[in-house]
Amino acid sequence: MKDNQADKLRAGLHKHAESAGNLLVEAFHYLALFAIGGITAWAGTMTALEMIGKGTASIDDILLLFIYLELGAMVGIYFKTNHMPVRFLIYVAITALTRLMISDISHHNEPDMSVVYVSGAILLLAIAVLVVRYASAHFPAMQPQAKNHKISDESHEGHESHEP
């Protein structure tokens, strides 16, 4: 009888510890999302104000605003679905490489082999987007779940939301 009582106590302790752990993980998760979203909005606003202050906007500035837009969209999607949209990370990388290439050409006024390398990297990332979209459409990692599921029951690996 004591073993049964000990098992019940252990199960109850485990249940409460898991609930407290899930609460702490979700609290940190939301705090971090709000912080990242706020910092992204602040950085985008500061960049826009700098552009207004200069009275001109370069292509570098505009591409930087697109990077902030993609980061903000990632935070929003992650907040709503609790899944990281991998494609958005690739879009940010493509935009950053495009910005690098344009900046390099505009500052050095001479395209060299680095343009070919950066262009190749952009092409590889574009192919990666196609692969991720194809894979997520044809081989979904998991079914959509209700918002009130436990953190320990989910997997963020390989999930990509479907778009019409």
Is 90 exceeded by the pLDDT of residue 112? no
Is 131 among the domain residues? yes
Domain membership of residue 18 as a residue range: 2-142
Is 164 among the domain residues? no
Is 59 among the domain residues? yes
Q: pLDDT digits over 73-92, tens only?
A: 888 888 888 787 788 889 99
Structure tokens at 13: 């302790």
Structure tokens at 86: 């991998």
Cα gap 68→54, rounded to integer Å:
20
| Whole-number pLDDT of residue 118 | 92
Q: DSSP 3-state assignment of 156?
A: coil
Phi, psi of 84 (to 5 degrees): -80, 120
Is 103 among the domain residues? yes
Model confidence at 106, pLDDT cuts 50, 70, 90, reads confident
Share of the chain above pLDDT 90, in %: 38
Is 158 among the domain residues? no
Model confidence at 143, pLDDT cuts 50, 70, 90, reads low
Number of compact structural domains in the chain: 1
Is 116 among the domain residues? yes
Phi, psi of 56 (to 5 degrees): -150, 155
Is 70 exceeded by the pLDDT of residue 51? yes
Is 37 among the domain residues? yes
| Whole-number pLDDT of residue 155 | 40
Is 70 exceeded by the pLDDT of residue 132? yes
Q: pLDDT digits over 147-160, tens only?
A: 554 444 444 444 44
| Whole-number pLDDT of residue 2 | 63
Is 52 among the domain residues? yes
- Name the DSSP letter for residue 88: H
Residues 111 and 97: beta-carbon distance below 8 Å:
no
Phi, psi of 32 (to 5 degrees): -65, -40
Please work out, in degrees rounded to the nearest 5, the angle formed at the alpha carbon of residue 86 by the alpha carbons of 81 and 91. Answer: 120
